[in-house]
Chain A
Amino acid sequence: ETGVTQTPRHLVMGMTNKKSLKCEQHLGHNAMYWYKQSAKKPLELMFVYNFKEQTENNSVPSRFSPECPNSSHLFLHLHTLQPEDSALYLCASSPTTSSYNSPLHFGNGTRLTVT
């Protein structure tokens, strides 16, 4: 039990589908993040939310749409994805966005395959 739960663990979708990834944290944290992990690449920061407000959008294509209804829940809505979007999508949380003293707590990720 990591304190950060992601669902689903695995997802296969076609390029025309619409799906959503869900993340829930039970740690009382105020900041939540989406990262993309692809083979042979560093973890790529996608979005940052602090107290439900988006504070960073790291030039992510509009086919990825985040939603943060409260500090405990984070969604990533997906539509018209490309095969190169296949990756492990990791959600993380931290007490605040001051990262040097607020380490990230990661979920176990959603393995996404776009066909």
Chain B
Amino acid sequence: TQLLEQSPQFLSIQEGENLTVYCNSSSVFSSLQWYRQEPGEGPVLLVTVVTGGEVKKLKRLTFQFGDARKDSSLHITAAQPGDTGLYLCAGVSNSGYALNFGKGTSLLVTP
């Protein structure tokens, strides 16, 4: 199993602050996906990164895939309470059939 380590595990910030969360592995992934899970709901896909060094932006969220395709980061600018949730990264498993997930970063943004 290819392990994905996410950090920090928990993050509590105030509205308007910037933050970065990380997803690291010793394995190379063909792609990584980021999901957000809100309480009482299932994870929802935010973005997929495929190419080493790739940067994708989704409004205030910026996703980066490491050059060696072993790590990824998510940067949120001017966080809002609506950004609260569990952020999960996931990579394609060795079998190619399904995703391996990290434990996630639990983010709380207070007004």
Contact = CB atoms under 8 A, between A and B. Distances in A.
Interface of A: 2, 4, 33, 35, 40-43, 45, 48, 50, 55-56, 90, 92, 97-101, 103-109
A106 B100 contact: no
B33 interface: yes
Contact of B92 (A48, A100, A108): A100
3 nearest interchain CB pairs? A106-B42, A100-B31, A43-B101
Interface of B: 4, 30-31, 33, 35, 40-45, 48, 50, 88, 90, 92-93, 95-104
B98 A109 contact: no
Name the prevailing secondary structure of the A interface residues: mixed
A68 B44 CA distance: 23
B63 to A, nearest CB: 14
Given A90-B42, A109-B42, A104 B96 contact: no
Contacts of B92: 99-100
B97 A99 contact: yes
B42 A103 contact: no
A68 B30 CA distance: 29
Given A100-B30, A100-B48, A100-B92, A56 B97 contact: yes
Given A100-B31, A103-B33, A55 B42 contact: no
Contacts of B33: 99-100, 103-104
Contact of A106 (B4, B30, B44): B44
Nearest to A111: B40
B11 to A, nearest CB: 16
21 contacts: A2-B41, A42-B4, A43-B90, A43-B101, A45-B100, A50-B97, A55-B97, A90-B42, A90-B43, A97-B97, A97-B98, A99-B97, A99-B98, A100-B31, A104-B43, A106-B42, A107-B42, A108-B40, A108-B41, A108-B42, A109-B41
